[in-house]
A = this chain, B = another copy of it.
Amino acid sequence: MSVPRAFIFDVFGTMVDWRESVAREAARAFSAKAITTDPYAFADFWRGRYDPAMERIRSGGRGYVQLDDLHRENLDETLAHFKLEPFFNEQERDTLNTAWEKLDPWPDVVDGLHALKAKAIIAPCSNGSIALMTRLAKYGGLPWDCILGAEIAQNYKPEPVVYHACCNALRLQPNEVMMVAAHNNDLHAAQACGLQTAFIARPIERGPGQTIDLAPNGDWDRVIDRISDLAH
């Protein structure tokens, strides 16, 4: 294994705590309207619509749409599920949708990225759009060198084209790039494309009852405890 010239990262769950952050933003919106819906249940349902929405695009049933738009559509479904449609007009829904731009990084992330940035190229390889990843980076202080991922490939992970597009955009061979994720399926897909792989467990990403991705389940090049481990 050679030293990677670039590290690309899954973001939702791997770098930022989407569940706690979305629940917080939902709770704020609910509080202003005296809504008693459990904000964690709301966040979980909203996130639950994520993969099916992307699957329509991955399967060719729909052209590429930025994740911001999928989140916004999924928000409508989520509000309907919880019978909250009457409480939110279009503008308020647009505002609530920006919850995905205000996701707190896990405690090891910002320092770890700064350490790694001195040694290699660092970039997200997320299903989030360029706009979403840019705003999330400004919110959380993530010092990316560039924004890669779904939008430059016009498709969604784990489609191989996304990993290949990231390598091509950096003019690097797949084996010169390491994919870092808290999700084994993301690493299986990256490894099949020839990338190096690193797993980091985020055991409460999905809440206290999380049952998947608690441990590595593949032959990953590295299993790390914190992002700064990649700099050593």
Contacts and interface: CB of A to CB of B under 8 A. Distances in A.
A215 interface: no
Contact of A169 (B123, B130, B148, B172): B130
Contacts of A172: 131
A146 B171 contact: no
Chain multiplicity (copies): 2
B121 A138 contact: yes
A135 B145 CA distance: 8
A66 B146 contact: no
A131 B66 contact: no
Nearest to A123: B134
Interface string A112-148: 0000000001010000011101110110000011111
A214 interface: no
Given A121-B134, A130-B146, A134-B170, 20 more contacts: A66-B171, A68-B171, A121-B135, A123-B134, A129-B171, A130-B148, A130-B152, A130-B169, A130-B170, A131-B169, A131-B171, A133-B146, A134-B145, A137-B145, A144-B146, A146-B146, A147-B147, A151-B152, A151-B169, A152-B152
